[in-house]
Amino acid sequence: MTTKVDALVVGAGPVGLSMAAALLAQGLRVRIIDSAADRAQESRAIGIQARTLEVLEIAGSVEEFLELGHRLNGVTLYGEAGSEIGHLDFEHIPSRYPFILTLPQSETERILGDHLRSNGLEIERQTTLVSFEQSDFAVLARITLSDGRQEEISADWLLGCDGARSKVREALGLQFAGKTFDLHFLLGDVHFESALSEDHAHVFGRPDGLLAFFPLGKGRYRLVADNPPEHLRTERKPTLGQWQEIVDGRSSAKMKLSHLGWTTYFRVNSRMVERLRRGRVFVLGDAAHIHSPALAQGMNTGIQDAWNLGWKLALAQQCLAQQAVLDSFEQERLPIEHNVLKMTEFTQNMITAEKPANRLLRDNLLPILSGISVFQKTATKTVSETAIEYRNSPVVEDHYAPNGPHAGEFAPGALVSRPEKKAKAPLASLFGRQHVLLYLAELQTWPDGLHAVKPIFQLIQNHYRRIITPYLVLPQDNPAAEPGVDVLVDVEGQFAQHYNASVLYLVRPDGYIAFRCLAAKQNLLRSYLDKYFVPL
């Protein structure tokens, strides 16, 4: 017997769980399988960037992450002599979340898994993908269940989120091009007390090698060391005493380690695929790109891959969008993944700086750069992934409007409420399922403003209501709007600070602005909708 589903997700790490959540939010029938008996028990990937927190806000699960995670407000860098040579201050991050959140991957997977279960989807553990074949209409996958039985699944789409040794990628014949660096790393989780502030990460670049401390809260730290002593360059785990030797030799701060937890050894690879899709099969996360752990980009990039793809795949599945929309996943995400590989490789080389001349350059240049405001803003936007935008995407259109965010940029956050209701909610709570059309009307002329956009609101209601929900945004002391028009109240004036009045903003389910134009030129929006979506 063959089971029929809309999508089969292979792999239940953070990326696979996010992929399943994105598809589930669109109402698709999903199955998610993983060969492991349980979620990750180790800390593994610990850094959650601001843009990922914004995505988790859309997903409706950010609060638990914020409650359990530890906030880092910056990174302090120490040079060859052990003294401070520079810092990054995360207050420059343009987000509601101007920090990096550290949280063990085991907790990330638990939260995301609980979110799926609360929405009726169970992770099928100890279940392995054996093989698959695809046609123009479906993917036929063969899996082995936890009890040894085999099953066939007919899925309209297959999502390979099965890690760096991906069976899905291998079966597609995708090259995993790149290189393995002659660079060895140790990771370890320990407890210790020291004078180092727990609200910053600390990175020491000493002659013996790199040593980095990433606070996890309550005296717990992730240690990262490159170029470990020769006798530690094995798969055998270093002991607490061996870690203490490394810390004593590379840190200018005195500390005594205790309670060694998870620890591991690895070499750095920088590789990615040339395509993210073949037919009805996609690869995401580590199955598509792996790189240096510098800047904590890997898991974050994969989660954002998933939320970029989820709504596009759902519209294709429901025959509500043209093929160009689904094609844009690869067109939007491949350049970002290329940039992540380049950026992490550059950062790794700069921080590790094995040659004395390179360390001298680094130690003299970083104090100058970190004192420049433009450098701080650019660097923190890059690290936090808030610099990611799709302004050159083939499915994004920006028409002139004075001020305000451009199409292709992430929609700025704001607190809003419904008329006559006191409860405030983030604007992001409206995203995730449908596109949202936002129009800010000025208080003095709001009836004229409503009259101006009523034709496009009516068009959407008649022909695109399964895809788009339009909202009229009014100041806090607003009059009652007409029946049939969804109204949002800009309760704290945040919306008016970010968005321009009399401009139509079409926001995608992943929180990025797809289209912008002046309300007076709404015929441009009509043309955009005709071009990319299928009317009812």
pLDDT at 421 over 80: no
Domain-located, residue 74: no
Read off the pLDDT band of 347 (50, 70, 90).
confident
pLDDT at 480 over 80: no
pLDDT at 485 over 80: yes
pLDDT at 477 over 70: no
d(CA 47, CA 64): 15
Same domain, 186 and 167: no
pLDDT at 80: 85
Q: Which of 352, 378, 411 is the last residue of a domain?
A: 352
pLDDT at 479: 60
**Residue 162 neighbours by CB under 8 Å, 6+ apart:** 10, 11, 16, 129, 168, 287
Same domain, 220 and 341: no
Domain-located, residue 320: yes
pLDDT at 352 over 80: no
In this structure, the number of other CB atoms found within 10 A of the CB of residue 273 comes to 21
Mean pLDDT for 367-373 is: 87
Same domain, 292 and 428: no
> Which pairing describes strands 2-10 and 150-160: parallel, antiparallel, or unpaired?
parallel
Q: Which of 296, 328, 352 is the last residue of a domain?
A: 352
Same domain, 418 and 281: no
Mean pLDDT for 57-74 is: 97
Same domain, 231 and 122: no
pLDDT at 244 over 80: yes
Report the CATH number at residue 297: 3.50.50.60
pLDDT at 154: 98
The tokens describing 47, both together, are 């850094």
Percent of the chain with pLDDT over 70: 96
Same domain, 424 and 508: yes
In this structure, the number of other CB atoms found within 10 A of the CB of residue 308 comes to 25
pLDDT at 254 over 90: no
How many domains are contained in the chain? 3
Q: Tell me which residue range forms the domain holding 229.
A: 179-267
pLDDT at 344 over 70: yes
The tokens describing 234, both together, are 């094995």
Q: What is the mean pLDDT of the chain?
A: 92
Same domain, 293 and 430: no
pLDDT at 226: 85
Structure confidence by residue, pLDDT tens digits, 290-333? 988 877 889 999 999 999 999 999 999 999 999 999 999 999 99
Structure confidence by residue, pLDDT tens digits, 446-474? 677 788 899 999 999 999 999 999 999 98
Helices (DSSP H) in 437-522: which residue ranges?
Answer: 446-463, 494-498
Domain-located, residue 128: yes
Read off the pLDDT band of 36 (50, 70, 90).
very high
Read off the pLDDT band of 495 (50, 70, 90).
very high
Lowest mean pLDDT among 222-231, 316-325, 410-419, 510-519: 222-231
Same domain, 149 and 213: no
pLDDT at 233: 66
pLDDT at 346: 81
Mean pLDDT for 25-52 is: 95
Same domain, 319 and 403: no
Mean pLDDT for 50-61 is: 96
pLDDT at 10 over 80: yes
Domain-located, residue 162: yes
Same domain, 150 and 13: yes
Same domain, 115 and 257: no
Same domain, 193 and 318: no
Lowest mean pLDDT among 145-149, 237-241, 418-422: 418-422
pLDDT at 232 over 70: no
What φ, ψ does residue 82 adopt, rounded to 5°?
Answer: 90, -5
Domain-located, residue 515: yes
Q: Which of 237, 267, 297 is the last residue of a domain?
A: 267
Read off the pLDDT band of 72 (50, 70, 90).
very high
Mean pLDDT for 423-436 is: 94
Report the CATH number at residue 417: 3.40.30.120
- Which is more confidently placed, 49 or 208? 49
Give the best-scoring range by mean pLDDT among 158-172, 408-422, 478-492. Answer: 158-172
Domain-located, residue 99: no
DSSP for 209-268, written as a single string: EEEEEEEEETTEEEEEEES--GGG-SSSPPPHHHHHHHHHHH-SS----B----EEEEEE
Domain-located, residue 509: yes
pLDDT at 2: 84
**Residue 136 neighbours by CB under 8 Å, 6+ apart:** 279
Helices (DSSP H) in 385-473: which residue ranges?
Answer: 446-463
pLDDT at 518: 95
d(CA 232, CA 185): 10
pLDDT at 234: 66
pLDDT at 115: 97
Mean pLDDT for 131-141 is: 97
d(CA 215, CA 47): 10
Read off the pLDDT band of 183 (50, 70, 90).
confident
